[in-house]
Amino acid sequence: MTYKSGVASLVLLMVLFAHSVLAADYRIAKALSVPQQQITLTITPGEHTFSGETKLTYKISQPVDYIAYHSLGLTLEQVELTYQDKQVLLPVIAADEFDIVRHDLPFKLEESAELTIRFTGLVGEQDSVQGLYEVGGDDGPPTLFTQFQEMEARRVFPAVDDPGIKTEFTLTVDIPAGLQALHNTRPIETQQQGSRQLIRFAPTSKINTDVLALAVGEFNATELGGAGVPATAYMPKNVRQSVPAELGTLIHQSINYLSEHLDAPFPYDRLDFFIAPIGTLAGMENVSLIALNTNQLPGTDASPEALCRFRKLIAHEVAHTWFGHNVTMQWYDDYWLNESFSEFFAAKVVTHYYPDNDTCTYTPQISAFDGDNDSAPALKRIIMDRADNEGIGGLYYTKGRALLHMLEAHVGDAMLKQVMRQYIDAHQGGHATTADFTGLFPNALRVDEIVNSFLTQPGYPLITLSKQNDKLVLSQQSFHDDADRRWTIPLQLKIWDGHKVRIQRLILSEASQLLPQVGAQDAVLIDPEGVGYFRYIDRSANPRFPIEQRTMADRLADMDNQEALTKMGQLGYTRYIQGLTELLRT
């Protein structure tokens, strides 16, 4: 099939059509939402099981003859439906392949109903990073923590475990006396009951299940001075590490930058951290209880690169307050709205406050290129279960962020800032899709085509400058293979006519198109600042763009591009060495 201009929009429509056809299978219908849920968990660290009871309050937007929720690995003991002041015991049935338990009813439900479910569950192995699990430590009693992103809350309690649903959760835990419990909110009541204690927490704001959190154990608490909001770092007593002194400052800087840039204040009354060996995670953006892996803490002799990575990690997790908590993706096929946006702004925070220590913020596409090829998954695709999101690696953090940088260069800093503010303002407290974001740009900029062409296809393009009939021509193909893919690519070119430099911007969306208003013998430098998510090669035989007319960013970007072309056999080694030598001489 030959793709034409606008192919990405067609691909996206096909994806979304397939998505809508399958939605009834792998998602609970939107007719059922859960504005409130009460959860009681009885937990004893060191034991392999826990028990609980939960009450889900459903809001029903249209009559339905069933009730549904998610459950994974739980043993359901009793399910009771309360509807119009009547209680009905429902049969205990198994979940389907998408972890959905659906009770078909002989009558229709309208407006509201309640389900009360008693259950038991399993504690995960140490550092399993799923549901409720043990975290590592040097010695002493085990510490339990939760990881609910993504589709993992259903391992700990029955729920409508869907990022498209936001709920006010009220949690009560029954744990041994002498232990502590940490949650997204603070305790409002503690009752001692012999050798155990009952701790009831304040209700959360309306959030999705992914960003709920619970920790049970013995903790040291460190107040984080200078954070700008009340903030405490909690660490298991058996972990022998110190809380970085600058953590409070990093929180303050991140909140200040993001709240000003987005014209949206920090929406919570505190921001605590849980710091422990949490398996394979670097961090997790739980509301008001951010998780941070001890292996991410910089030592006293940390290199500038390690300090940069730590600062960006903190900024990234704080940025999720706006991109993930305040505005939440509608479903996992738009996961980039959470991760890529947070990573994009984390780099901005670091470069703003630490311009001399921003070694980890340059050209994210360089890292993305290594893992993004014809066999890599697309960032936007059908996600039906947790397995569908495996193998994506760091592309949400690198490719997605690189796409936003390229978009910023295309529309300009001021417009992107304005759109980001509109995006947050329009969807705060709710949900958003990629179309909600791209729809905020003027149609003439073709942002929807650009974004969807890079989100819905794996890999990236190779742009070639050549000459046909004494005219310069730009063409595109897949960098890795012969697949007939097309992208809508915003380009910035530097043109040298022998006397002066001028900038030309255009969008390449066809397989091949003429380069307008450029002399046949002009020197052309493609992607001078190195923000494009593509590789490029000049086969025009025109003079090379003068070294002395290139900025340092131009030169570094060209060096990286030439090296990549050589590795892929697109550029001869001799020519590569000649170009590299010419650059290094300057």
Q: What is the pLDDT of residue 358?
A: 84
Task: Say whether both 196 and 225 belong to one domain.
Answer: no
Write the pLDDT tens digit of every residue in 453-484: 999 999 999 999 999 999 999 999 999 877 78
Share of the chain above pLDDT 70, in %: 95
Q: What is the pLDDT of residue 470?
A: 92
Q: Which of the listed residues 184, 217, 250 is the one where a domain comes to its end?
A: 217
Neighbours of 244 (CB within 10 A): 24
Task: Say whether both 180 and 260 belong to one domain.
Answer: no
Q: What is the pLDDT of residue 307?
A: 95
| Residue for token pair 């900025």 | 551
Task: Say whether both 380 and 492 belong to one domain.
Answer: no
pLDDT of 585 > 90? The answer is no
Mean pLDDT of the chain, nearest integer: 92
Task: Say whether both 448 and 466 belong to one domain.
Answer: no
Share of the chain above pLDDT 90, in %: 79
Task: Say whether both 231 and 93 belong to one domain.
Answer: no
Q: What is the pLDDT of residue 137?
A: 64
* Cα 157 from Cα 470, distance rounded (Å): 69
pLDDT of 136 > 90? The answer is no
Residue type, 580: L
Q: Which residues pair with 467 in a beta bridge?
A: 472
- State how far Cα 434 lies from the chain centre: 13
Q: What is the pLDDT of residue 509?
A: 97
Q: What is the pLDDT of residue 16?
A: 45
Q: What is the pLDDT of residue 451?
A: 98
**Containing H/E element for 134?**
strand 131-135
Write the pLDDT tens digit of every residue in 334-376: 999 999 999 999 999 999 999 998 888 888 888 889 889 888 8
Q: Which of 541, 539, 545, 467 is CA-nearest to residue 504?
A: 545
* Cα 534 from Cα 544, distance rounded (Å): 20
Residues ≥6 apart with Cβ < 8 Å to 20: none
Q: What is the pLDDT of residue 8?
A: 43
Task: Say whether both 289 and 340 belong to one domain.
Answer: yes
Task: Say whether both 321 and 188 belong to one domain.
Answer: no
Task: Say whether both 187 and 283 belong to one domain.
Answer: no
Residue 21 pLDDT grade (very low, low, confident, very high; cuts 50, 70, 90): very low
The CATH number given to whatever domain includes residue 536 is: 2.60.40.1910
Q: Which of the listed residues 458, 477, 495 is the one where a domain comes to its end?
A: 458
Q: What is the pLDDT of residue 391?
A: 63
Angle at which helices 573-584 and 552-567 cross, to 10°:
160
Q: Which of the listed residues 396, 431, 458 is the one where a domain comes to its end?
A: 458
Print the domain residue range for 157.
31-217
Burial class (CB in 10 A: 0-12, 13-18, 19+), 362: middle
Task: Say whether both 252 and 365 belong to one domain.
Answer: yes
Task: Say whether both 424 and 508 belong to one domain.
Answer: no
Q: What is the pLDDT of residue 138?
A: 61
pTM score, whole prediction: 0.93
* Cα 143 from Cα 156, distance rounded (Å): 16
* Cα 445 from Cα 439, distance rounded (Å): 11
Please calculate the CA angle 194-197-201 and round it to the nearest 5 degrees: 160
pLDDT of 426 > 60? The answer is yes
Strands 328-329 and 143-147: unpaired
Task: Say whether both 317 and 190 belong to one domain.
Answer: no
| Count: domains in the chain | 3
Q: What is the pLDDT of residue 20?
A: 44
Neighbours of 416 (CB within 10 A): 19
Helices (H) and strands (E) in the chain, counts: 11, 27
Task: Say whether both 380 and 261 belong to one domain.
Answer: yes
